[in-house]
Structure 1
Amino acid sequence: MFASCLQTILVVLSLASSMETSELPVEAFASLPNVSQVSLSPDGNKVALLYWAQQLEDQETFVRVINLQTGESQFPFKTDNQSGLINRLRWGNDSILLASISMPATRQGVPTTETRIVRLDLEAGSASNLLSTSFLRRFRYTPQFQTNIVDMLPDDPDHILIALDGYRDHTGVSIFQVNLQLKRPRVIENGQGYISNWLTDQQHQIRIGVYQRDTNFRVLERSPERRNQRLLWQFELFSEDEVWPLGFGKDPNQLYVIQYHQGRKALFVVDLTDPELTAKPVITHPHYDVQGSLLYSDVEKDVIGVTFNEGGGFTFFEESYQRLQKAIDRALPETTNLLLGFSKDERRYVLFSSNATDPGAYFVGDRDTGELLHLADRFTMLPVDYMQPKQRIQYQARDGLTIEGFLTQPSTASKSSPPPAIIFPHGGPISFDDGSFDYWTQFFANRGFAVLQMNFRGSAGYGFDFMSAGIQGWGQAMQDDIEDGTRWMIQQGYADPDRICIVGASYGGYAALMGSIKTPELYRCVVSFAGVTDVELLVRSHRRYRNSRVAQAQIGDNFRELRSISPVNLVEHIQIPLLIIHGDQDRSVDIQQGRRLIRQLERHNKDVRYIELERGDHYLSNSQHRLTAFRAMNEFLKQHLTQQPESAHADQVTLPPSQTPPN
């Protein structure tokens, strides 16, 4: 039975209940998660998690391991979220924890992101790289990515399988059996051709290789009886012929794949002994793509579900897991409840529970006793009572296409007196917004702003045609969808037409800048964090990386056209104030994107405030960077949106929408 001291495991900071205003301090939203990446040990007696010590001045993130029997904690590793970022925690066995780390680096003058696995020996109290320097000397170069775990080998507590490139004279990635006790790894499969990834079956045999050369993909199969490979599928990226292998069932010839079905991605199972490779549907949906990964059981040795559910959460195939999920949902009826993992015998589990207004909490459950005990809240400074619900909405784009979005209204919202508003397009752009909790959106709503998030054409999740409409569509119809959403907000009375700001990050930052260029009459101000400003430079810079052809296929390779849709070349059309924030170690959108824009804006005497985050990345991973950015946004938005303009121009919103960017 769990120790009763579970409730005292983590320090919980609370806000005074007697606050006179519903506006929370900026720090509440700009804080890193207090707890994340919760993982249960195989024996079910310990949990590992990332713990952000916000009460400490250095504000580091710690790996924390908690003994569920005694409540005692260990802190075997920490990071400052700048020199390294912990992305995932996995248990190698009951005493060894594996932390996947990413870090900024440079190779031959090219900015890169490197990944490593840190081995945390809880009994010895030591931390070291899983792959030793002496082992890596056998490679032509140090592998950039060292966290591609192919198989955790759950029945072998001393080994895992890892894929690494650069091994001796072999091309592609090679597979190594890595000893968790730090004995020399053993090569299992030498790299070949352009195979960039491998999959094992449930018998832990290497079975599927994924070949990639530019935008051409092939799925190759090796049967258990023979070493030669056969071609299963080949396709071009961003085509309706895509077939993505996810993993095997208990039957070594049962392969689960994601492929298109009636224009939507769906989950299928294929019998590899069938010469026709007939795909039998497992989960399809008439409106949304089925996405996610497979869920496995160490007890059943089989697939038990998939991390997809239209309403959020997971979908389980097996009745016993469906019963467990239903019991949890009855106990926590108003949240989406995700089973993050089980002990090896599956009698204990960890759970994450959240919704649009609840930042989320972690629980530990016991299937034998029926206990479900609260472990920790993800954000201790964001009480549910101060958060606002999201409303799923739809509007029609100018060409009749239906755009889905999410509207978050402040507590002070009134159609008789519409509030100021934030138009908040997502990044990606092949990504999407959903109805889950979003700290940016809640920050804006808490400041009294209505917020519109829209899944413009090109967003993921809405089928092949919808996604394809955004290929090489930057600044065009994708941008029009965002503008049409702004006009919809005004027409529906959700926004004061004279007090709207467009805000975005990454591609969303690009869209925010283009909004100020194409339709300056709609917006009072712009905020761009890590935004793309020079589309030509973005595509050209990918020439230094292996995915250069992918970038050209997605964004375009006609540089004259790319220059015509780049904000850096259109600054003379910007007539409203801007706030530009960029990290100087951004590995997704290089800092030169921000610096080039600023030089052009200053040359044209535009109203701009620029903040460059020293050692800042693309994700505001450091708490101080996040606080700096949110404080700047808070001041900027209040300055431009909470003051009534001297002269209204609401009639301008009825002007015909712009079809193309200015020349």
Structure 2
Amino acid sequence: MKRNSLLLALAILLLGPFSHAATARLPVEAFASIPDVSHVSLSPDGSKIASVVRIDTAEHRGTVVSIVDLQSGEKIIPIHTDNKRFVILSLQWANKDLLLIEAKYPAVRYGNPTTETRLLKYSLASGKTNNLLRASVLKRLKWLPQLQGNIIDMLPDDDDHLLLSLDGMGQEVGEDSVIRVSLTQGKSSFVQASKRHMQGWVTDRQHRIRIGIYRDDNQYRIYEQQDANGELRELWHFGFFAEDSVWPLGFDEDPDILYVRAYHEGLEAIFKVHLSDPQLKKELVYSNPNYDVMGSLIYSKLKHKVIGISEGNGEEYTFWDKEYIGLQNGLKAIFPGSNNYITQFSADERYYIVYSSGSTEPGSYYVGDRNVGEIYPLAHRYKKLTPEVLVPTERLNYQARDNMEIEAFLTLPKEAVPKKLPMIIFPHGGPISYDNDSFDYWTQFFANRGYGVFRMNFRGSAGYGYDFMKAGLQNWGLEMQNDVEDGTRFLIDKGIADPDRICIVGASYGGYAALMGAAMTPELYRCVISIAGVTDVAYLVKSSRRTTTYEVVKQQIGSDIDALYQRSPLSQAAKITVPVLLVHGSKDRVVRVKHSQMMYDELESLNKDVEFIELEAGDHHLSNNEHRLTTFKAMDHFLAKYLQVNKKG
């Protein structure tokens, strides 16, 4: 079979064709199911595709790892999970035979709920799946590391080894060593000894361990050495959330050139530093005049140089090399109006994976063949969603009460007139995170149900520079909350939102903001939904005391326990007068389920209208398909009851 014919057949084999549904109301499953495909990875020789595929059969539900041979069409399924026992985080080819699979699962350490990660390997030759680290390796450690998937160097010139940064040999938890692990035998040897407070290591392109990242109670330091276990030279030091922070991203082929992220005119940008320069002068490489530059370096192993940056914040990858700029421009011509990400190249860079997405494009994967100048469809992330059934998102700005400019995103139902619409106010989680105008399955679900959706990047959100981020520190329930309220009133003043049909919905920090909105301005909202929301900020801080991030948490959220409790929905429950829906996973390791349990008990004791759904063995991210469907069906029923979408404004 010809390669292009096989690839077209493969797209149907993996996911089936797009389901061209009408623009009417779609089943909850179309939006709320976990992605049909994710984590697409191309083998180094370009001959195989590995991906995580959702399955729903009488025998199995959850996800599987699927490996497909692009020449023969042969498919292998080495791993299945129900997304309760464990969740697959990533796939990465170590060589043409071995696929590395990182997974997470919930656990408890010393009475504290934790998330553990492990690294598995699957061999095409043997057909076996094993732990990457042998038991004999782990027995040499002082304690079993919680996180075992931090690969810092794949050693591309050595098919049988990689470098892994691993806890377990320091004086305290979080002090990493580096070990060299055999992929075939599982044996390991220590390359870099742990050092006091040293939490991470970076190699150069010659695979020497060059950069160490140090953190104590209130400060970061960046150290450099010429080789593993060498004499350390301090390059920079800075406090948590500091404007003079300098974060190493990686080296160029020249071992003297280090790329870093630092602030430039108030926004994060990319610089390079010659380590031989005693002044460590930062030379600007790339900046965005409006947003922080995020993401990671893109390095060409073929050209032996850094060729660009994966920006994040909804932006496409930015290439600096003319050859790759031409390739990116070609993709823009093929997929206009979408963000097109070249996520991976084969070792010879003749084959590549493209992920194309946008507000009305839920995500499609393609494989490109530079030998013939063609690109072929591979898989759809959500096969039941098409551009025809999705609606665009509009960027806009409004001013908060103190004149702070807030960027926001408005999504309206199909063919809706923007006048007195039932509206969902949907603040994001994080809170140092952000929303953008790319595809969001929550937003599209709400819009398909007939609701307008308004998402705002309140102060403290990521991507808008140092001052904007700093304005959100220790600001829970204060100006950050005002920004959400001011956005709601902006929509009312513009006549877009029906003031009698507004519900505030959020997850994680967004759940906190939703509940606080209902408490602080009960006249503004008709109902409130909190998914895995924080309800007691004081408890959130106190429960991090035995973690390595405690000092960071205090600086970000605050340490005045009494004040934090007063800025918590739990303490303000008596002021909530509208119906409340709470949903929380019992094994949430980010925001403990106790938050929603306490909130439910308090609201119920006050005879408030409250419903609580506790998802058995559920995590923070609704990783299990049944949990996601349960949550969305509950929201669907709840919103329909209180927002009356068919009522004329």
Shorter chain as normaliser: what TM range?
over 0.9
Separation of aligned partners in 1, 2:122 and 2:233: 40
Q: In the alignment, what sits opposite 2:540?
A: 538
Offset of residue 645 of structure 1: 8.8
Counterpart check, 1:77 vs 2:79? yes
| Residue of structure 1 in register with 2:426 after alignment | 424
Which one-letter code corresponds to 1:411 in the other structure?
Answer: K
- The question of 1:358 aligning with 2:361 is answered yes
* Separation of aligned partners in 1, 2:638 and 2:344: 42
Q: Distance in 1 between matches of 2:228 and 2:208?
A: 11
1:240 pairs with 2:257: no
Deviation at 1:14, TM superposition (A): 6.0
Instruction: Could you tell me which runs of 5 or more consecutive residues in structure 2 were left unpaired when the two chains were aligned.
Output: none
For 1:7, the aligned partner's letter is L
Q: 1:371 aligns with which of 370, 374, 388?
A: 374
Q: Secondary structure at the match of 2:8?
A: helix
Alpha-carbon shift at residue 167 of structure 1 (Å): 2.2
SS in 1 for 2:177: strand
Q: Per-residue deviation at 1:5?
A: 2.4
Q: Is the CA contact (8 Å cut-off) linking 2:294 and 2:313 kept in structure 1? A: no
- Aligned sequence identity (%): 49
2:337 equivalent in structure 1 = 334
Cα distance in 2 for residues equivalent to 1:597 and 1:310: 33
Aligned counterparts of 2:442 and 2:228: Cα–Cα separation in 1: 53
Query: Which AA in structure 2 matches 1:208?
Result: I
**Residue 108 of structure 1: which of 87, 90, 110 is its match?**
110
CA displacement at 1:359 relative to structure 2: 0.4
SS of alignment partner, residue 78 of structure 1: strand
Amino acid at match of 1:112: T
What is the aligned counterpart of 1:409 among 412, 430, 438? 412
Secondary structure (helix, strand or coil) at the match of 2:3 reads coil
8 Å CA contact 2:150, 2:166 repeated in 1: yes
- Judging changes above 3 Å, is the alpha-carbon distance between structure 1 residues 65 and 12 closer, same or farther for their aligned structure 2 residues? closer
TM-score w.r.t. length of structure 2: 0.97
Shift of 1:223: 2.3
Map 1:634-645 to 2 at 5 A: 634-642=636-644
In structure 2, relative to structure 1, the CA distance for the partners of 1:56 and 1:151 (3 Å cut) is farther
Instruction: Give 1:569-648 correspondences, 5 Å limit.
Output: 569-642=571-644
Structure 2: distance between partners of 1:169 and 1:485:
49
Partner of 2:446: 444
Verify: 1:323 aligned to 2:326, yes or no.
yes
Per the alignment, in what secondary structure is the counterpart of residue 420 of structure 1? strand
Give how far 1:247 is off.
Answer: 0.2
Give, in angstroms, the shift of residue 213 of structure 1: 1.1
Select the residue among 262, 279, 282 that pairs with 2:282. Answer: 279
The one-letter amino acid of 1:565's match is R
The letter for the 2-side match of 1:5 is L
Q: Which amino acid aligns with 1:319?
A: K
**2:574, 2:392 → 1: CA distance?**
39
Instruction: Give 1:47's aligned residue.
Output: 49
Shift of 1:273: 0.2
2-side partners of 1:80 and 1:418: how far apart? 43
CA distance in 2, matches of 1:63, 1:315: 30
Change (3 A) 1:456 1:345: same
**What residue number does 1:658 align with?**
none
- 1:175·1:187 contact (CA, 8 Å) conserved in 2? yes
TM-score by length of 1: 0.95
- Rounded to whole Å, the distance in 2 between the matches of 1:408 and 1:102 is 34
Instruction: Return the offset for 1:166.
Output: 1.1
| Counterpart AA for 2:305 | D
Cross-structure match for 2:510: 508
CA deviation string 1:390-447 (max 9, x = no partner): 00000000000100010000114214x4210000000000000011100000000000
Report how far residue 127 of structure 1 moved. Answer: 0.5
Aligned to 2:187: 184
2:5 matched residue in structure 1: 4
Cα deviation, 1:542-571, whole Å, max 9, x if unaligned, reads 002111111111000001110110111111
The one-letter amino acid paired with 1:221 is: E
Is the Cα–Cα contact under 8 Å of residues 197 and 209 in structure 1 kept in the other structure? yes
Q: Which of the numbers 139, 145, 159 marks the counterpart of 1:137?
A: 139
Structure 2 vs 1, CA of residues 389 and 530 (structure 1 numbering), >3 Å: closer, same or farther? same
AA matched with 1:636: F
Q: Is the 8 A contact 1:34 1:54 kept in 2?
A: no
Q: 2:533 corresponds to which letter in structure 1?
A: G
Give the residue type in structure 1 aligned to 2:194.
G
State the aligned residue count: 645
Q: Which amino acid aligns with 1:102?
A: K
Structure 1 SS opposite 2:638: helix
The 1-side partners of 2:81 and 2:472 are apart by 38
Deviation at 1:184, TM superposition (A): 1.3
Tell me the SS of whatever aligns to 1:520. coil
The structural deviation recorded for 1:183 is 3.9
Letter paired with 1:383: T
In structure 2, relative to structure 1, the CA distance for the partners of 1:404 and 1:56 (3 Å cut) is farther
After superposition, the C-alpha distances for 1:433-477 in whole angstroms (9 at most, x for unaligned) are: 011100000000000000000000000100111000000000000
Following superposition, the deviation at residue 286 of structure 1 comes to: 2.4
1:643 Cα deviation from its structure 2 partner: 6.1
**What is the correspondence of 1:140-159 to structure 2 with a 5 Å cutoff?**
140-159=142-161
Contact 1:244–1:258 under 8 Å retained in 2: yes
Q: Which range moves more in the overlay, 221-230 or 181-190? A: 221-230
| Contact 1:76–1:127, Cα closer than 8 Å, also in 2 | yes
Distance 2:471 2:228 in 1: 44
The answer to whether residue 528 in structure 2 is matched with residue 565 in structure 1 is: no
Q: Which moved more, 1:579-588 or 1:224-233?
A: 224-233
Counterpart check, 1:489 vs 2:478: no
Deviation at 1:109, TM superposition (A): 1.2
In 2, Cα distance between the equivalents of 1:552 and 1:168? 25
> Which runs of structure 2 are paired with 1:170-249 in the superposition (5 Å)?
172-224=175-227, 227-249=230-252
Q: Of residues 15, 35, 48 in structure 2, which corresponds to 1:33?
A: 35
Give, in whole Å, the separation in 2 of the partners of 1:18 and 1:452: 25
Query: Aligned letter for 2:101?
Result: A
Counterpart Cα distance in 2 of 1:471 and 1:168: 32
Distance 1:68 1:17, change over 3 A: closer
Amino acid at match of 1:8: A
Q: Is the 8 A contact 1:3 1:70 kept in 2?
A: no
Residue of structure 1 in register with 2:299 after alignment: 296
SS of the counterpart of 2:406? strand
Give the drift of 1:311: 6.5
Letter of the 2:512 counterpart: Y
Q: Is the Cα–Cα contact under 8 Å of residues 136 and 142 in structure 1 kept in the other structure? A: yes
Q: Distance in 1 between matches of 2:313 and 2:167?
A: 37
CA-CA distance at 1:353 after TM superposition = 0.6
Residues 133/453 of structure 1: CA separation in 2 closer, same or farther (3 Å cut): same
Q: Cα–Cα, structure 1 residues 442 and 311, in superposed 2: closer, same or farther, change >3 Å?
A: closer
- Tell me the secondary structure at the aligned position of residue 522 of structure 1: coil
CA contact (8 A) 2:399 2:406 kept: yes
Cα distance in 2, alignment partners of residues 228 and 505 from structure 1: 46
Alpha-carbon shift at residue 226 of structure 1 (Å): 9.1
Q: Which residue of 87, 90, 93 maps to 2:89?
A: 87
CA contact (8 A) 2:313 2:436 kept: no
Q: Take 1:16 and 1:352, find their aligned partners in 2: how far apart are those partners? A: 19
8 A contact 2:170–2:177 mirrored in 1: no
Corresponding residue number in structure 1 for 2:519: 517
Distance 2:21 2:263 in 1: 54
* Aligned counterparts of 1:411 and 1:168: Cα–Cα separation in 2: 57
CA deviation map 1:580-614 (0-9, x unaligned) = 00000000000111111111001000001110000
Contact persistence 1:91–1:97 (CA under 8 A): yes
Q: Which amino acid aligns with 2:400?
A: A
Give the whole-Å Cα distance in 1 for the aligned partners of 2:556 and 2:439: 29
